[in-house]
Amino acid sequence: MRSKLDRCAPARFAAGVLPMMAARFPTASTLLEGVTMRFAEFRDRLEGALQEAGLAFHDADRRVETIDLVDTVRSWKIYIRRAAPQSAEPFYVSAEIGFEWSPVDAARAYTCEEDLLAELVGRRKRPIRTEHRWTRIDLSLRAGLPYGSTTSMPEPHVFGAWTASVLETADAAFTDVEQKKGRIVAVLGGHGDVEVQAHCKPDGIVSLKALAISGFQTVRVPRAWDDPERRVAERDPRDDLGRLARRFKTALDEWTKSVSELATWIRYSPPPPGAKPVEPWFDDQSEDDDDGGPDTTH
């Protein structure tokens, strides 16, 4: 369970204001005439887009939904595992896609913008402009070796050229900015650097274990308005989610190709027979070894 100080205010807002607004404002029923985008609707649209792009399959990939009891943030993740091509062996390739739904997202979905503003700042004579609703969707691409296997780190000139190629591909898949008058006013997508997980043996030799790179894209979510003209102006995110799913599918395909290229440069040693992850172990106290002290349960 997470605890973040910067989310204490949204947590109090969701705990106190959101249930009251849901009960007080009948105008929320008018949302049915437009595009209502709550957590469940957004999740279903995203899952549908991923399935249409061939990136996720119903009942085949693992889905995880959680809600934080401290700040009421809801999270959705899907873990995608595919059989990597023979050229990528010994690496196995996987991906993780997810997004978060904050208490403010929930409040803006369960009532219209006008009523939400009236609850926060009071009634105003002139209509107040609100920021667009944006939801960030993250994609993590990973490639790992079987447990217990070893491979030396690639030579710097090989690893450097490979990393540069991966970052160039990630730029095309993730990077997206909004510009006005030649100036960047919003970052709608981006990515991090290539992350390397290594293992150091007692003799000081460092072995490669896994590789990863993460990126994100943002999708505009329609706002709910009581004003019919404003409500019509909000567009359905179906097309944006479809484009995002296709971009994520391309990113996963390109990542698999890059991992296949790296596999040709490494010297791989398979795990020894019977290798398995180390698990906690306790030596249970014998029943005959009773010193009269309190019972111990492991």
Tokens encoding 129: 């402009």
DSSP reduced 3-state for 198: strand
Q: Diameter of the chain by CA atoms? A: 83
H or E, element range at 50: helix 39-52
State yes or no: cis peptide before 156, omega within 30 of 0.
no
pTM: 0.74
Q: Distance between terminal CA atoms of the chain? A: 24
User: Over the stretch 205-239, which tens digit does the pLDDT of each residue have?
Assistant: 888 889 999 999 999 888 777 777 777 667 778 88
Q: Buried b vs exposed e over 189-218: b needs ≥16 C-beta within 10 Å?
A: bbbeebeeeeeeeeeeeeebebbbbbbbbb
Q: Buried b vs exposed e over 11-26: b needs ≥16 C-beta within 10 Å?
A: bebbeebbeebeeebe
User: Over the stretch 243-270, which tens digit does the pLDDT of each residue have?
Assistant: 999 999 999 999 999 999 988 887 665 6
Count the Cβ atoms, other than its own, within 10 Å of residue 137: 21
Separation of alpha carbons 218 and 237, rounded Å: 11
User: Over the stretch 19-34, which tens digit does the pLDDT of each residue have?
Assistant: 444 433 334 333 445 5
**Residue carrying structure tokens 């369970």:** 1
Separation of alpha carbons 76 and 253, rounded Å: 23
How far does Cα 36 stand from its chain's mean position?
A: 23
